[in-house]
Structure formats: structure tokens, C-alpha cells
Structure 1
């Protein structure tokens, strides 16, 4: 059904969001009082520059009346906003209590509720969302013949095989429903998506119920004036997935698991759990487990029965736990326990995640690790893996500006007990000076054996790490280049500046580039 002014008003009123409709001197709660109320909108946007004849404009965020100058000449059909703008446009305005909630509902309707044509899986947690999402998509693609779409912080995939770099972990609601429509039109049966805390904070997934949701884990992150003021707020936002899914997969060892179970019980949502077990089989009881076996792979079990014995391309026990979560989610949406589709887990590769390179006395890992948990987990993994070679560890890292200020200390805390040297370098920033951020991070280093220095040029920082390895040629040096992965840009003063890419720099310096 096409979205009209009348249909939009009815939808918003049903969700207790509509205050009134205003057009000039006419203030009404009945769209039938206005001419053209049953004319379908031809487009929907939140960008005034994209208004064309018949467009519904959603005014969100710090919207200003000035943005609507001459908008009638572009053919604006109607606008939705928390403030009326009849002084600058003749178009009718749907005045609402919450523009972001309203935009999500209106976008879903405009694009024909594509979520109803897809089985939608949502994944949240502080660590492991991307890896778990890729694992689930791989299994569902194998099971459905390539008909699983993906929204992730690394890439989006709308046709089961073509991947394009994403801008946000969870897209803006209007973009998400537009992409869902494209995926459904492409014949996709499934959509796997990461769900960030910000997605719930700013209503990007308002009105969306996941067929299966996952809550992997929780630890402090994204704490800043422009994200979450406290850990409590961060956790509260992430907990909303429990109330907005039909079944929940929960990390059995997740902090505050009891509270999340209470959420699920209050919403009548069934819960299954996953966990990583020790090699001796001991560990937290869970419905789905990953158990290390003698062949360096993992035996995955459901309620004690084998799902399969798989060797993962992605290293680390934490990735085995993510695979167990992926199996639980796949089973929740109907993949049979005996399906060969689970073998797809063995071939999952994620650009910029645990990229592993070797040259002479050097081993390098390029990874998106960007907070305390992910940095510590990676550092622990490499020092354990190479313990018999008495390695030196050199970490190349920075931290983003203007947000997630807690990460600056967290990255250092996660790295300093494993690192011999920390080279601090550029990351994304908008207003904050990067040199100030790096000096702040340097101030958090309390381990006296750690050497630290600052090199703003990220490529030169990696070069310094390689030079350090050459200077200690008698020992193995492990380079951990973290934060940017395979991104080909760095945000400088809020704008994307071209960058070679951490992976490319390492391969160039290691002599691994193909001609």
C-alpha cells in the first residue's frame, strides 16, 4: 500500500506520536481536512537537497527552518517534524512528539515493510558483533543458496555476494529500510545486522522486531558526552534488543546476564545460551558450546549433541565463541542441526579482522581492536600463541576524537602489560586535536618497561614498528596494528582523507604486495 498523508497520520496517531497536522492556518488531527491527503508520496528523505516533487521530508536532529528556504519550489509534498514550519512552507506538516521514532515507522511503511519479507537477525554486544554477523551470514548463505543480506560495521551486502563499505554499524532508519527493500527485491530471504547501542539510543531500529536477537557480551564502551553518559545508559540501550526480538541468544558468561534474563522473561522472549568451554569440557553450562579439540579445531555442540567439528580460518578462542553464537542464531531461524551449511564457518574471512602476515622475524596482526576488551583479548592471544618464541610486542594504535573517550585509557590498559613498545598515531577525529588525544593516551601508560612515542603519520608509525623489529632481529617481533583495519581513509577535521590502509602498509613493508 502506498504511503499517503492520510496513511502517515493514521500510522503516527496509532503509535501515539502525532500531535496535529498543520498547513497554513489549518490545524487539524484529521488529514481528510486537507487537499491531496490521499495522494501517494513519491519519495521520502531526511535531506532537503534531495526533495523532488511529491517528497515527504523527515526533519530530524538539529533541523533549522532555514533549510526549508525555497523548498516549495522543489515540490515538497509534506514534512514531518517536532516543530511546525508553516512560516516557510505551504506544505502540510505532520507534527510529532519524537521525529526519530516517527521517521523509522514512516520509512518502513514507505518501503512496503520489507522486514516482513525477510527473516531478520539482530546482533548486539561490546565485542564480536561483526564476526558473529559474518558467521551467521555465511551459514545462511550456504543454507539458502546465497540469499542472505548483511548490515555490518565493515561492509553491507544486499545481494548475498557483493560487499560495499559501510558508514555506520547500524544504518539510519530510513537508509536501513531502503536497503532492506533492495535486499528483498534482490530475492534475499535473510538479513543479518549488527545493532549498536546508538541504534537504540537514537531510534534507528524503532518498531523493528528481530526474528532472532543476540546479546553477546557487555563491558564499558562508547562513554562520552555525545554517546552514553554512563555505563548504565550504554547497557540499558543495548538491553532493548531483548524486548524487540522473538527469541534471544545470550552469552552465558555475559556480565549482567541475570538482568537480561529478567528483561526476556518480562517480554516473554525465550532464551538460549552459548559459551566457550575449556579443553577438559569444564565451563559454564550453555545450550550451545565450542569445545577445543585435539586437531586445533573446535567441536560445536547443541545440548551435548555434536553440530560439527570445524577448523576456523579466524584465529582465537573468542572467535570460536562467536561461531557458537552464530550456530545458535542459525538454529533459531530454522537451519537444521545436521545441515552441511555449518561448514561455511570454516571459510569466513572478514576484511581487517585478525589479518595475519609474516616476514622474517616479524609477525603482524591488523585488526579493528579499539577498546579495552578487544585490545586485551588480541594481546593475550598473540602472546599465548607465540609464548615459546619469547616475542617482543609492538603496538601501533590511536583512539578516535570527540567520542568514546573511555577508550583512550582502555586501549592502553589492554595493551601495556603485553607490549614492549606502544607507538601512538592518528585515528579519526572531528574537532579534537589528535596530538592532544595521543598525549592523553601516553599519560595512561603506567608500566615502566613499556617504551612509548608518538608519530602522527599513521603509515610512518607502522614503518617505525617494522624498523624496531629489524633492530631486534635476534627475536621474534609481533606487530599489533589496531583500530583502522582495511579502511582506506582517516577522518581529519570531520572529513575523510585518503589513507593507504593498515593492511596495505604492512604488506608493502613486508614485501607481500602483488605486482
Structure 2
């Protein structure tokens, strides 16, 4: 489809988004009255700095009318906005009820609907999205000769093997459809993408139907004035994926599962479920299930629709990752991979950057773990892992952590609550923020510490914070020390004042200090 003023207006009208078209003092219901209404747009953008001749500009979010000043000289062809901006430009304006929804629809059309040429898998949930996405991509790549793309909160991959660091869990709609088109042009047949609650809250995936959607779990997160005011709103946004998919994969232990099943039934979406059990499968069980294959829980047996896939042992540490592996198997099966395909075992050696990365200094009995844990549940699971693997050594545990600024305020108390009765020392430090000072975030976290037996330090510089924790750990060569560095993983930046400031990366800092 070639996108023009005429076809854009028709598309927006079809979806009941178009209010009117404004050109100077003239207002219209359609574009037929305008000159060059069928001329194709050369580009589409939501950033006035990237305007080139023939550009359609979508004015979304905190757009200021004065941003339009001077854009005609650079080639603005038309704009889309929720209000009349003709006082700042003589170009036609498509006035809509929702600019973000309009952007998603127009982006899909501009890039000629690449989603229709892909099997698109969407994964949502509070925990495990990234790991499950990597596992699923590994299976689909193994089964489809390396033709599966990936959108994740860690990396994006558009050719099946090259990974570049991402900015958002779910890309802005325009960026998502542009990358989908590139993936299709690269020969990709499948796409696995994480779908955040914000993706539905701000319409990043509006109009997109997932061939397979997975709903892993739900627990309180992202609750703040600028994200979700309540858990109900958070869950409601995530639930929208059910109405926008063809097949649903659902974690049987998910909270509010009755509601999710009702959603699927209401939208006539077939459901398959998965679950991990403590003992071999007997009686009525979900079609996809797993149970420990040994007493150490370092290997599991998987079963799909009665087919025993045998024993799975992951290179990625953490028993909780077997649930993510099971989810990936269920998703891949729903996407067409036979239960007994050898490709199912591709996740065995899959690593996820920044997830459960372990480093050791044998001379000092120091273990450091770098992980993206960032809320109550993920910190509990990380500490459970430490208890299972190192508990008999009675380790001294240090947690190096910050928390996001300007959002997800509940995480700060959650991280402290999960850890304070199980560790020896907190080191609070910088993480990502927009405008909220790092010092205020750390002070807030420290204020939630009620256990007087745990030491508390605040070191804003993240590299220095990690250095302090590791120096103290290595000072005692007799005792086992475990240093947990959470929140940033392998990211090479820290967000400050809405800008990405270069940063060495938690993994690199730890590896360098323990060499």
C-alpha cells in the first residue's frame, strides 16, 4: 500500500479516528478537495528533527505547536494531530481523536504491513518476558534455519543472529513496523516480541494481531502516577493482548487466571496452558508441563500433549528459568514447531545478556551475580537461588541496587522488603531516571529498611558502588561472599535527565574487578 493523504484519511476514517481535515481556513471530511491528495508520502515520522521532503508528521505526546515552525521549508507534506495546528503551518492537517493509535495504523500502512508476512509472537507478563523471548527465538531459529527476529527489552535482532541494544521493551509503533519491514526484507519468517503493559497503555501495538500470544504471570509492578495508578489498570492493559491474538498460551499458575480464561472465551481465542510441578505428571494436567528430573532441580523433564521431550538442562542458572523454558516450548509448539522436534532443545545453551551472569574469584571465595532483577518478585527468586546454591556455606550477601526514577515507585519498597531479612548489606546506587535525582531515589529506598542488623550504604556512582561491595567481599578470604548486582545487566548506559549517559555495564565492571 502506498500511503498518501487520501489513503491516510480513508484509513483513519475506517477506524473512526479522523475528525476532519484542516487546510488553512478550509475544513473537510475527506482529502478529495486537496491538491496532490494521492501523491505518496516519502517518509513518516513523529520527530520534527527527521523531516525530509514529502514527510507525514504525527504529532503525539508532549508535542508543542511551535515544533512545526520551519518544517515546511524542510519538506513537511502534512501532519496528524489531536488539535488544529494551522496557525503554525499551511500544510494539511489530519485531526484525529488519538494520535498514538493513528501513528500505529499509518506506520503499518506506510511499511506495507510487514506483520502480515511474519508469524508474530507476543509475550507479556510481569516476570520472565525477556528470558522466554530469547528461549522462544532460539527454538524458532533452530526449526526455521535462523529466520526469527526478536524485539526485547535487552536487544533487538532483525536478521536472526545480529543483536543491537534496545531502548524500550516494546518499540514505538513506527519503529516497530519499520523494523518488521527490515526483518522481512532480511528473509525473516517469524518475530518474537515482548509486549509491555505500556505498549497497550500508549497504543504502541494498536491494530496489531499476534498469531500467538503468551500471558506468563501477573504481580504488582509499574504502579505509579505516570504508569498505572492501580494493579487493576496494570492487569487490564496486559489483558488486551488476549483480544488481539489468534492463539493464547497461558501460565496455569497465573493470578486471576479465571478472568484471563473468560477473556479468551469471550474473544473465541483457543488456549493452551503450561505449568511446572514438583512431581511427575499424573491425572489432569496442562498440555505442556515439566517436573524436576533430579533432586537438585538442575534438570527438568518436559511433556507436551503427551509427548515426553526428555530431560532439559539449561546453561542459564536459576530453577525459575525452567518455567520460562517451559513457556517457550509451549509458545513454539503453538507457533507450529512439532513437540518432538529437535529444535525444542535449542534453548539448552541459550544465554540472555544480563540475566544470571555469574563471576567468581576462587582465591577469595567471592561470587558475583549480575541480573536484571528489579522488583519484589524477581529479587525473591534471585535470593531463593542463592539459598539453594550457596546456603550451606552460610554466605554473606550484599545487594547493589537502585531503582527507576519518575516511575514504578512501588519497586523501591519491594526490593528492600524482599531482601532486608536475607542479606548483610545494601549498597544503594544510581539506576535509570528522567528528572528525579538519584539521591532522592536512594534515600527513599534506604527509608524502607527496617531491619537494624543489615548495613546500609549509598554510593551514587554505580561503578564505585560495585567496587565498594566487591572490595569488602574479597577482604575476607575465609568466608563465602555473594554480591548481587541488579537492575542494569549488560546495558551500556544509564538514563539521566532523559538522556542515555555512557556506562561500562554491570557485567564488565564485575568481570574487570574479579579478574
TM-score, shorter chain, exceeding 0.5 = yes
Report 1:273-284 matches (<5 A). Answer: 273-279=273-279, 281=281
Residue 496 of structure 1: how far off its partner (Å):
2.1
Give the 3-state SS of the residue equivalent to 1:400 in structure 2. Answer: coil
Matching residue of 1:504: 508
Q: Distance in 1 between matches of 2:121 and 2:320?
A: 21
Give the 3-state SS of the residue equivalent to 1:377 in structure 2. Answer: helix
> Deviation string for 1:343-395 (max 9, x for gaps)?
11111111110001111211111001001111111011111211221211111
Q: Distance in 1 between matches of 2:34 and 2:463?
A: 60
- Which one is further off, 126-135 or 461-470? 461-470
Matching residue of 1:96: 96
Matching residue of 1:483: 487
> Deviation string for 1:139-167 (max 9, x for gaps)?
00001100000000000000000000000
Matching residue of 2:452: 448
Matching residue of 2:260: 260
Q: Is the 8 A contact 1:247 1:270 kept in 2?
A: yes
Q: Is the 8 A contact 1:275 1:284 kept in 2?
A: no
Matching residue of 1:374: 378
Q: Is the 8 A contact 1:46 1:57 kept in 2?
A: yes
Matching residue of 1:78: 78
**Pairing partner for 1:421 from 416, 421, 425:** 425
**Pairing partner for 1:403 from 400, 407, 412:** 407
Give the 3-state SS of the residue equivalent to 2:483 in structure 1. Answer: strand
Q: Distance in 2 between matches of 1:305 and 1:340?
A: 13
Matching residue of 1:343: 345
Residue 483 of structure 1: how far off its partner (Å):
0.5
- Which one is further off, 308-317 or 184-193? 308-317
Q: Distance in 1 between matches of 2:403 and 2:245?
A: 33
Matching residue of 1:314: 316
Q: Is the 8 A contact 1:114 1:180 kept in 2?
A: yes
Residue 117 of structure 1: how far off its partner (Å):
0.2
Give the 3-state SS of the residue equivalent to 1:386 in structure 2. Answer: helix
1:461 maps onto 2:465 in alignment: yes
Q: Distance in 2 between matches of 1:180 and 1:253?
A: 32
Give the 3-state SS of the residue equivalent to 1:373 in structure 2. Answer: helix
Q: Distance in 2 between matches of 1:435 and 1:225?
A: 20
Q: Distance in 2 between matches of 1:185 and 1:284?
A: 45
> Deviation string for 1:429-462 (max 9, x for gaps)?
2211211211111111122321111111211211
Aligned residues: 511
**Pairing partner for 2:395 from 388, 391, 412:** 391
Q: Distance in 2 between matches of 1:67 and 1:108?
A: 25
TM-score (norm 2): 0.97
What's the Cα RMSD here? Answer: 1.4
Q: Distance in 2 between matches of 1:436 and 1:462?
A: 19
Give the 3-state SS of the residue equivalent to 1:84 in structure 2. Answer: coil
Matching residue of 1:353: 355
Q: Distance in 1 between matches of 2:440 and 2:30?
A: 55
- Which one is further off, 457-466 or 280-289? 280-289
Q: Which runs of 5+ in 1 are unaligned?
A: none
Q: Is the 8 A contact 1:140 1:148 kept in 2?
A: yes
Q: Distance in 1 between matches of 2:290 and 2:390?
A: 23
Residue 416 of structure 1: how far off its partner (Å):
1.5
Report 1:63-212 matches (<5 A). Answer: 63-212=63-212
**Pairing partner for 2:305 from 283, 303, 306:** 303
1:248 maps onto 2:248 in alignment: yes
The 1:279/1:509 distance shift into structure 2, 3 A limit, reads farther
Matching residue of 2:435: 431
- Which one is further off, 464-473 or 73-82? 464-473
Q: Is the 8 A contact 1:383 1:418 kept in 2?
A: no
Q: Which runs of 5+ in 2 are unaligned?
A: none
Matching residue of 2:496: 492
Give the 3-state SS of the residue equivalent to 2:347 in structure 1. Answer: helix
TM-score (norm 1): 0.97
> Deviation string for 1:95-121 (max 9, x for gaps)?
111111011000000000000000000
- Which one is further off, 334-343 or 180-189? 334-343
Give the 3-state SS of the residue equivalent to 2:392 in structure 1. Answer: helix
